[in-house]
């Protein structure tokens, strides 16, 4: 990642490291006017999460857009209660639906959020400072760590942290890219700054919610592999789950998150194993043989 342009500006905040990810200081300058910021949220049946998400961006952003798809709960009323602009979009997959929502924003600088995320006070300060700094013109986007609340604590190690996410960007230089089925990500044309404020993520209210995600993601994995022409491999089915556990629990120090850290490493490994097993099944499923 290119280093920031320094000039005669003042630096903020102090540089630090997050498990090997270097957090660069951003340069603040008084030059230029502060750009207007749009928040874009794509949601479906998120009545429970939306109030927290919306509260974290109300009052300091210039536009909030909530793009709903197939929603049957009270999400629309919650969004309108927060003075957000509500739009209903057809579901075209994660990547394409998010690009459709992005096209609704009026401002060039956009903060893209999921309904189960929340901008922390520290991240809010760093975003507003970045946008007020004249050197923002040297960057096309900003990434920051995403921190998950799980069971009884914030998870700060393992595969779940820092999970650096590029969510603040210039709309004329960035789009949602990646796989059309799953694992969408922002693809940015130009240098990206990194700040240390956390984006809070409340993705799993309990263990049952986490377990419920394993099968749908396994099905998406199978679909993805089929479209890419990939097939089942016994070696990958055995070694990849083992590697994911070792990486999460040992190399990335998941053990420092206590028992939740152990669960995450084991569940992640199991999830990978289920994906490869589903792929095996999809290639070999057949009607049972009749008895003789």
Q: What is the pLDDT of residue 285?
A: 73
Cα separation, 44 vs 70, whole angstroms: 6
Quote the pLDDT of residue 287. 65
Residue appearing with tokens 């789950």: 241
| Bond prior to 154 in cis (omega within 30° of 0) | no
**Angstrom distance (rounded) from CA 150 to CA 103:** 33
Average predicted confidence (pLDDT) for the chain: 87
Cα–Cα distance measured from residue 275 to residue 100, given in angstroms and rounded to the nearest whole number = 29
Distance CA(111)–CA(62), nearest Å, equals: 11
Condensed to tens digits (0 to 9), the pLDDT of residues 136-158 reads 889 999 999 999 999 999 999 99
Decide: 210 and 149 in contact? Cβ < 8 Å: no
Tens of pLDDT along 168-220? 999 999 999 987 667 789 999 999 999 999 999 999 999 999 999 899 889 88
* Rounded distance between C-alpha atoms, residue 188 and residue 265, angstroms: 31
The tens digit of pLDDT for each residue in 110-119 reads 999 999 999 9
Q: Give CA–CA dist 166/153, Å, rounded.
A: 24
Count Cβ atoms below 10 Å from residue 286 Cβ, excluding itself.
5
Beta-ladder partners of 110: 38, 169
pLDDT score at 66: 98
| Neighbour-count burial for 136-165, b at 16+ CB within 10 Å, e otherwise | bebbbbbbbbbbbbbbeeebbbbbbbbbbb
The pLDDT value given to residue 291: 65
Neighbours of 201 (CB within 10 A): 21
| The token pair that represents 28 in the structure block | 């603040």
pLDDT at 80 over 70: yes
**Among residues of the chain, what percentage have pLDDT more than 90?**
73
Pairwise CA distance, residues 209 & 89, whole Å: 26
Q: What structural domains does the chain harbor?
A: 10-201 (3.90.550.10), 207-284 (no CATH)
- pLDDT mean over 128-143: 92
* DSSP assigned state of 244: H
pLDDT per residue as tens digits for the range 215-261: 988 988 888 888 888 889 899 999 999 999 999 999 999 999 999 99
């Amino acid at each position: 990642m290119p280093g920031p342009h320094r000039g005669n500006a003042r630096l903020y905040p102090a540089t630090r490291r997050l498990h090997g990810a270097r957090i660069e200081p951003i340069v603040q300058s008084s030059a230029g006017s502060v750009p207007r910021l749009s928040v874009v949220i794509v949601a479906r049946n998120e009545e429970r999460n939306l109030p927290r998400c919306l509260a974290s961006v109300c009052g300091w952003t210039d536009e909030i857009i909530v793009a709903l798809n197939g929603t049957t709960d009270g999400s629309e009323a919650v969004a309108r209660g927060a003075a957000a602009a509500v739009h209903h979009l057809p579901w075209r997959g994660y990547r394409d639906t998010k690009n459709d929502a992005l096209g609704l924003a009026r401002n060039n600088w956009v903060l893209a959020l999921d309904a189960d995320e929340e901008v922390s006070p520290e991240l809010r300060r760093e975003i507003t400072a970045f946008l007020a700094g004249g050197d923002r013109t040297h960057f096309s986007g900003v990434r920051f760590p995403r921190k998950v609340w799980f069971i009884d604590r914030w998870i700060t190690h393992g595969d779940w942290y820092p999970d650096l996410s590029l969510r603040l960007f210039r709309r004329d230089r960035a789009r949602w890219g990646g796989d059309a089925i799953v694992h969408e990500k922002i693809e940015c044309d130009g240098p990206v700054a990194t700040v240390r404020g956390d984006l809070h993520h409340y993705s799993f209210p309990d263990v049952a919610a986490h377990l419920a995600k394993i099968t749908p993601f396994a099905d998406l994995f199978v679909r993805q592999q089929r479209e890419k022409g990939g097939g089942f491999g016994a070696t990958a089915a055995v070694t990849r789950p083992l590697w994911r556990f070792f990486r999460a629990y040992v190399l990335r120090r998941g053990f420092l998150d206590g028992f939740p850290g152990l669960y995450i490493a084991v569940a992640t490994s199991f999830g990978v194993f289920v994906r490869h097993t589903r792929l095996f099944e999809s290639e070999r499923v057949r009607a049972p043989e009749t008895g003789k």
